[in-house]
Structure 1
Amino acid sequence: MNQTVTTDPKQFIADFFSSFTDDIVNSEEDAELVVDRYHTRDVIQFADGNPIDRDKLVAHVRPVRKKKPATRVEVHDALADGDRIAARYTLHVISGGKTLAIDVQFFGRFTPDGRMREGHMLTRSRD
């Protein structure tokens, strides 16, 4: 069995998404290099049923970089079993004078070096 997550799963998820977002927003490094540091080249994510491969992920993060949102990940629950993690968290975003809170149910698989291989996210914006 792959023992990818050897730390607290809540902390792993918080660190993964916080670090990825910080590197995208606050780094001058090429977006493709940042995406590849956190994801496998064959990554596939499904956000509310919409498939996102590596190329779509890179295309998604480029405009995010320009807006420079402030984000915070609040992990409520997380469980890990080998390379699989399930988590429930809230993504708090401040961008362009707007404040958003998005509840996320996440199910994913990670490589031994901590990169995301697969992710399934169901989201709901709070009012």
Structure 2
Amino acid sequence: MTATTSIATALTDLLFDRQIDVDTAFARHFTDDYRQRTDGVWSDHAEFVEHITHLRGVVTDGRVEVHDELIAGDRYADRHTIHARKTDGSEVAFEVLVFAELATDGRFRQIIETTTMLSGRTEDRDLGSAR
């Protein structure tokens, strides 16, 4: 396996680095056959890109704080908090638990995650899967 991506790097590129377009950021960190399950709901490549594109319209900036990270062969796990400022000036934070499968090139092939909102408004609760 080549160098492995990380959730922090992938999310920073996808959500917060506006110098990189969504498709380029996706290709850098995820395989073409990527699938993700967030809080029990599956998304394919196109649905995930739709989700990230939506979030880029809602979020202005933020950061990813990794608390725990483990890589073992083609398996990846982490616990992180994503802190984001929305376009309306409000802030939101989610703790995310991730279990992932990596491709041989080190990109994510599949992620299963569970999100817990730590702060934010009631209407922000579904940001982890909003499209």
Letter in 2 for 1:83: D
Map Cα deviations across residues 69-106 of structure 1 (whole Å, 9 max, x no partner): 21211111111101111111111111121111101110
Between the two proteins, the alignment pairs up a number of residues equal to 118
Aligned partner of 1:27 in structure 2 is 19
The structure 1 residue matched to 2:30, chosen from 36, 39, 42, is 39
CA shift in 2, pair 1:68/1:102, >3 Å: closer
Residue 100 (1) aligns with residue 100 (2): no
TM-aligned CA deviation for residue 62 of structure 1: 1.9
Greater per-residue helix proportion: 1
TM-aligned CA deviation for residue 28 of structure 1: 6.2
- Contact 2:13-2:25 within 8 A present in 1 as well: no
TM-score, structure 1 normalization: 0.79
The structure 2 residue matched to 1:125, chosen from 99, 111, 117, is 117
Aligned counterparts of 1:33 and 1:58: Cα–Cα separation in 2: 11
- Contact 1:71-1:92 within 8 A present in 2 as well: yes
TM-aligned CA deviation for residue 61 of structure 1: 1.9
CA shift in 2, pair 1:124/1:85, >3 Å: same
Q: Report the aligned-residue RMSD.
A: 2.2
TM-aligned CA deviation for residue 4 of structure 1: 5.4
Residue 48 (1) aligns with residue 39 (2): yes
Identity within the alignment, %: 31
Aligned partner of 1:65 in structure 2 is 56
Unaligned segments of structure 2, at least 5 residues: 120-131
TM-score, structure 2 normalization: 0.77
